[in-house]
Copies of this chain bind each other. A is one copy, B any other.
Amino acid sequence: MIRSQLELEVRYYETDQMGIVHHSNYIRYFECGRSKLLVDLGLPIEQIEAAGIVFPVVSVNARYRQPAKMGDRLRIVSTVEKVPEGAKFPVKAEIYNQDGVLLCEGTVTLGFLDARRRIPVRCPEFIAEVFRRHEIGDE
């Protein structure tokens, strides 16, 4: 298992006229969490893209439990259950507020793509290797 955490504050423009964070923004928070996970691994997105690999999102699901509000400080927990092998890999995401309340959880599945030919490729070995080095036991 590989796990990463990111803290960020709700931004005013992310709220909507219901007075809560618009649901689409949690999908963006999930991505911020994944970027942080890659940085933690020493694999920033811009480096992977420089290697000719893009990994677009294949599917998303999210369940909204409690709304986030202006002033909230959120904690995004991103978890990769196992080292990616094939052309896809799922990342779990959970978002908590400053009181530890679970606001939203979901899974985003990414696919590895050759950037030039736009075809799916297996997880490049240099990426799998990095994941392997950072694997930790399940808590």
Contact residues of A with B, CB < 8 Å? 9, 11-13, 15-20, 22-25, 27-28, 31-32, 35, 44-46, 49, 54, 56-64, 67, 69-71, 106
Tell me the complex Cα distance, A24–B30, Å: 10
| Stoichiometry, copies per complex | 4
A70 touches B58 (CB 8 A): no
- Choose one: B17, B31, B44; the contact of A17 (CB below 8 Å): B17
> Chain A interface secondary structure, helix, strand, loop or mixed?
mixed
Contact check, A23 vs B27: say whether CB atoms are below 8 A apart: yes
Residues of B within 8 A of A19 (CB): 17
The residue from B13, B16, B17, B69 contacting A24, defined by CB atoms under 8 A apart = B13
Given A17-B17, A45-B12, A70-B45, also A60-B62 (CB < 8 A): yes
Once the chains bind, are A17 and B12 in contact (CB under 8 Å)?
Answer: yes
A19 smallest CB distance to B (angstroms): 5
The residues of B that contact A49 with a CB separation of less than 8 Å are: 17-18
